[in-house]
Amino acid sequence: MILEAIITNNVVKIYSGGVKALDGVSLTTEEGSSHALLGPNGAGKTTLIRIITTQIKPTSGSIKVLGFDVISQGSRVRELIGYVPQEMSLWTELSGFENMLIYSKLYGIPSAQRKDIIEELLEFMELRDTANRLVKTYSGGMIRRLEIAIALMRKPRVLILDEPTIGLDPRARSLVWSKLLSFKKEHDMTIFFATHYMDEAERYADKVTLLNRGKVIIEDSPVRLKEIVGGNSITIKLHNSRDRDYIVESLKNSEFKITILDEKSLSFSVNNISRDLPRIIEAIYKLGVIVEGVELGEKTLDDVFIALTGMRVEETPGRLREVLSTRRMIRRGG
């Protein structure tokens, strides 16, 4: 039987200052799946995660985690989830091992088991050799892996992460994800994560919920979402700039969706590249236009977001500094 790990039903959050951060969010996370909440800064991702993790209350709506109501059964929910917040949650003047020890006590892990659990997770997260170094000497990737190790100590059924790889370089990001996915597989854990990196959502989620300005735009698997904009793009580079508008005009009633890229190039959205590429080339050939080059490209979730909102999920470089400077100790999950 498939049980829903997370169900939110028409969740609204209006902050005391009047900001409507969530405007009727309904979503479902199947147990054992990896589910991404994808959206630009300010979309409401952190707000929803704070509500699901019982830190703040919604203005209206209901939320269940593994069948328990987050408002009336908050302590049951906290027992079942692990949470890695967007901001840093470690003591930087202590070692990795000491951080884990403190959290193991906070989480009530029996003292006889603490050392084994900590050693095992440090090993798994490839932090064993650096476990006795102060956290302030750690790289961004090591910090994230330590935070995840801490969240995994209680073997949560649902792991909730807010921007798990924000500011990390591609290698550090892929190490974090390989660890997360292998733990997920071994323990049949559900992962729910917020991100503004569309490639991360595309690569690591079974399902993606696109959130914008507090509203769900669409929710589906990455493959199905990309079908909305067509699976591939074919870029045609023209020899002569005046041919561009001629092609657009001549093919405007055809089956192809055409986007103007610049003076001399056009992009065709297609679902089936092996069928559509020859058709496009033939249609252009019949118009007597000289083509300088053809490029094939994969569509991304960014294309989906642009198609549905007219906006780009913007990148925000320099956020890691912000995250690290927060150095705020927050008590997680408890």
Name the site residues for ligand ADP (rule: CB under 6 A).
15, 17, 19, 21, 39, 41-47
Distance CA(330)–CA(264), nearest Å, equals 54
Cβ at position 132, least distance to Mg ion in Å: 32
What are the strands, taking DSSP E only, across 49-155? Answer: 60-65, 68-69, 81-84
Min dist. Cβ of residue 17 to ligand ADP (A): 5
Nearest approach in angstroms of CB 153 to Mg ion is 24
Instruction: Name the minimum Å distance from CB 211 to ligand ADP.
Output: 7
Q: How many positions of this chain bind Mg ion (CB under 5 A)?
A: 2
Q: Which residues contact 50 (CB under 8 A, 6 or more apart)?
A: 56
Give 11's strand partners.
Answer: 25
Kindly tell me which of 157 and 207 has the beta carbon lying closer to ligand ADP: 207
Query: How far is 127 from 97, CA to CA, in rounded Å?
Result: 9
What string of H, E and C letters represents the secondary structure of 197-215? CHHHHHHHCCEEEEEECCE
Separation of alpha carbons 77 and 23, rounded Å = 23
Tokens describing residue 112: 């006889």
Count CA atoms closer than 13 A to 190's CA, side-chain side.
23
In the complex, least distance from residue 218 CB atom to Mg ion, rounded to whole angstroms? 20
- What residue 333 binds from ligand ADP, Mg ion, none (CB within 5 to 8 A, per partner kind)? none
- Between 23 and 126, whose beta carbon lies closer to ligand ADP? 23
Minimum distance, C-beta of residue 45 to ligand ADP, in the bound complex (Å) = 3
Q: Which is nearer to Mg ion, 43 or 180 (CB)?
A: 43
- Please check whether residue 37 is in contact with residue 207, taking contact to mean a CB–CB distance below 8 angstroms: no
When CB distances are held under 5 to 8 angstroms depending on the partner's kind, the choice from ligand ADP, Mg ion, none that residue 21 binds is ligand ADP
Choose the contact partner of 43 out of ligand ADP, Mg ion, none; CB within 5 to 8 A by kind: ligand ADP
Residues contacting residue 286 through CB under 8 Å, at least 6 positions apart: none
Q: Which does 165 bind (CB under 5 to 8 A by kind): Mg ion, ligand ADP, none?
A: none
Question: From the list 29, 46, 89, 95, which residue makes contact with Mg ion (rule: CB under 5 A)?
Answer: 46
- Residues of the shown chain interacting with Mg ion in the complex, contacts defined by CB under 5 A: 45-46
